[in-house]
Amino acid sequence: MTAPAKPRTLFLTPTTDAFRLATPALGLVRALQRAGHTVAFAKPVADSTFEDGEEDISVHFARSLCNLTVPEPISLAHAEDQIRSGNISTLLEDIVALVEEARGDAEIVVVEGVVPAEDHNLISDLDVAMGRSLAAEVIAVLSGKSGDVDAIVDAARDVALRVNTAVRPLAGVMIGRLPDVSLASDIKVALEQANLNFPVIAAYPVTQTLNAPRLKDVVAEMGCNIRYKGGLDAARMEDVVVAARPPEHLVKLFKPGTLVVTPGDRSDVIMTTALAQSSGMPIAGLMLTCGVPLSPSLDEFLSARFSDLTILEIEEQTFDAATRLAAMDRRVRLGDDPRMEVLMDHTADHTDLAALRLDDSGDATVHMPPPMFRHRLIKDASRAGATIVLPEGDEPRTLRAAAICVEKNIARCQLLAKPADVEAVAKSHGITLPAGLEIVDPDEIRGKYIEPMCELRKKKGLTPDQAEAQLEDNVVLGTMMLATGDVEGLVSGAVHTTASTVRPALQLIKTAPGNSIVSSVFFMLMPDQVLVYGDCAINPDPDAAQLAEVAMQSADSAKAFGILPKVAMISYSTGTSGVGADVDKVREATAIVKEKRPDIIIDGPIQYDAASVESVNRQKAPGSPLDGHANVFIFPDLNTGNTTYKAVQRSADVVSVGPMLQGLRKPVNDLSRGALVDDIVYTIALTAIQAGAEKA
């Protein structure tokens, strides 16, 4: 990727005190990171809601979710004092220094302005002064909540006049909280008709799910007593239902994330809600009003049979409680990382970086940020259009991941399971089955693979009866579907062992031409870049030739996913400092790679710190082509590789994607039995990309 000719500063300024800037600012950071730019973030002056010693919400999430080093902002009170006392020049110097500290070597720094509170003009003037002092490209953030196109255009005109008279012309606008994303095109047309010649950089809608606070934040703000905790820690309030109607009408209003508000003596409503929760409807909770406690008999019954239901108590009347809930501030709270992560991705998905004229060639890069890796993973998988079979089709995590993949067009997924079983699991876990999700009954297709399987295993003397028995295993069945070309990839392992997934592949798929072994890599999503670790799952103790093959396979895998490989052959010693069979094996493997693949940047034997830390590399391995910037780490054996990947994953809280198998004729990938839904989605995407490469 070609960097901009000079560092860029993008300054976000608000147009209303009702719209905080954390989501648009960090969403823009996420979009830039996805595109492969090195990005920094600065919030020079904290918002009015944060006192000295408290962490600003934008700074908090920039650190925790964007993995950026962000200086502490200046307090708003101090900034206002400086302005009122005539020291604005000193204040602006401090702000410039803070932004430059944040920038470091980044190509682009996103700077968040200040949302006005009490003295609107004072803060607006400060925003203009900051933009000018930073020589920034100013982006105005508008609220589209009203859905009134004319009002949005008027707001854009006002901010353009304010900015254009003080700084450079407005670089563009970001419009959030639109009731309907289709309004974006209407706004663009209206801006052109009004001769406002600046681009719409982002226009994104709001949904109930995106706007849902944690239930525990509702409890804190409302001052509720917690009668039964249930699923309080994980629940979110997407909707509020005031239960004033009979139960037969109430059940029609239930949907995931509903908080039911009712007086404590409405036992019919309480029981209806509890039964809905136990039947699989993920109710957020039940709020009992009017200070009326549960009757002792109902209390005893609920505690024994419905412990998963969160029940809250409040003294207020039902109407008053519902009114406060409707007016509640739904902005993201500190610590609500999952919601902010979704909001950032949502904003990034609706951001048009082309409007900023940023060059993104899409070439391989040594330094691959995790957001860019994840973005390319999904984009490239979608482009591949592969069909992936999932033998564990009725496993809840696998089912949810498959639904996501189909909804996002990541891959065409085939679930091996009884349709009735899949529908039951979907209903009990609140999973909506998208139209394109294929469910294949294993019993209806097993017979067609008996003869092909016998043919593939004829040298082993496999009989039809033996083949039929083995095909009762859905992993074997899925592998045969892959072997015969009915699908293009397989993902399994949510409830099966690695051996159960890999063994059929070795027997039926076999290795690709030019490969003598199958190996694996993990993509380690470190805070600032993606590293590739191999082999951490398959080969216990490869010899020198096999280790060289692992290195070449891993380098090719890295390059296939946009990472320019710099390969470190890890050992307990660096260069010629060590002797013995173990280090000699690594030395020989390195020599084999250099001879067979002179295009690969490689060094070894080398210690991990010498491979990954520039200063240590200069001291221990002067002249190494890695320069302390290795991104593909090849471990000498499974004991070392598996231990290292798990130690890094757990101790540094790093997401690892994989293991991705290498060297097979067709793509088969294994899951950890502790895999989360996102892990499965990314593994399906990896498999789809591998399948696309096979077709190319």
Q: Examine the domain organization and report whether 436 and 456 are in the same domain.
A: yes
Evaluate whether residue 240 is within a structural domain: yes
Q: Examine the domain organization and report whether 603 and 482 are in the same domain.
A: no
Q: Examine the domain organization and report whether 179 and 238 are in the same domain.
A: no
The predicted pLDDT at position 536 comes to 92
Q: Does 1 have pLDDT greater than 50?
A: no
Centre a 10 Å sphere on the Cβ of residue 122 and count the other Cβ atoms it contains: 15
Evaluate whether residue 653 is within a structural domain: yes
Q: Examine the domain organization and report whether 531 and 462 are in the same domain.
A: no
Phi/psi of residue 360, nearest 5 degrees? -135, 95
Residue numbers of the domain that contains 430: 381-509
Structure confidence at residue 120 as a pLDDT band (50, 70, 90): low
**93-118: b or e for each residue (b if 16 or more CB lie within 10 Å)?**
ebbeebbbebbeebbbbbbbbbbbee
Q: Examine the domain organization and report whether 526 and 544 are in the same domain.
A: yes
CATH number of the domain at 245, please.
3.40.1390.20
Q: Examine the domain organization and report whether 242 and 126 are in the same domain.
A: no
Q: In what order do the strands lie in the sheet with 632-634?
A: 601-606, 566-570, 632-634, 530-534, 519-525, 655-662
DSSP 206-261: --TTTT--BHHHHHHHHT-EEEE-TTTTT-B--EEEE--S-HHHHGGG--TTEEEE
CATH number of the domain at 145, please.
3.40.50.300
Indicate the length of the chain as a whole number.
696
Q: Examine the domain organization and report whether 267 and 305 are in the same domain.
A: yes
Q: What is the mean pLDDT of the chain?
A: 88
Residue finishing a domain among 490, 509, 528: 509
Q: Examine the domain organization and report whether 294 and 419 are in the same domain.
A: no
CATH number of the domain at 619, please.
3.40.50.10750
The predicted pLDDT at position 364 comes to 53
Q: Examine the domain organization and report whether 240 and 304 are in the same domain.
A: yes
Q: Does 331 have pLDDT greater than 50?
A: yes
Evaluate whether residue 502 is within a structural domain: yes
| The total number of structural domains that make up the chain | 4
Evaluate whether residue 690 is within a structural domain: no
Q: Determine what percent of the chain is predicted with pLDDT higher than 70.
A: 93
Q: Does 166 have pLDDT greater than 70?
A: no
The predicted pLDDT at position 660 comes to 92
CATH number of the domain at 484, please.
3.40.50.10950
Is the bond into 659 cis (omega within 30 degrees of 0)?
yes
The predicted pLDDT at position 562 comes to 83
Between CA 100 and CA 96 the distance in angstroms is 6
Between CA 222 and CA 203 the distance in angstroms is 33
Evaluate whether residue 680 is within a structural domain: no
Greater confidence, 202 or 364?
A: 202
Rounded to a whole number of angstroms, the CA Rg of the chain reads 29
Residues 528-578 have pLDDT tens digits of 788 999 999 899 999 999 999 999 999 999 998 888 999 999 999 998 877
Between CA 246 and CA 605 the distance in angstroms is 74
Structure confidence at residue 363 as a pLDDT band (50, 70, 90): very low
The predicted pLDDT at position 10 comes to 94
Residues 443-478 have pLDDT tens digits of 999 999 999 999 999 888 889 999 999 999 999 999
Residues 603-656 have pLDDT tens digits of 989 999 999 998 899 999 998 999 899 999 999 999 999 999 999 988 888 888
Q: Examine the domain organization and report whether 538 and 505 are in the same domain.
A: no
Q: Examine the domain organization and report whether 258 and 168 are in the same domain.
A: no
Evaluate whether residue 694 is within a structural domain: no
Evaluate whether residue 16 is within a structural domain: yes
Q: Examine the domain organization and report whether 186 and 140 are in the same domain.
A: yes
Q: Tell if the pTM clears 0.85, that is, is over it.
A: no
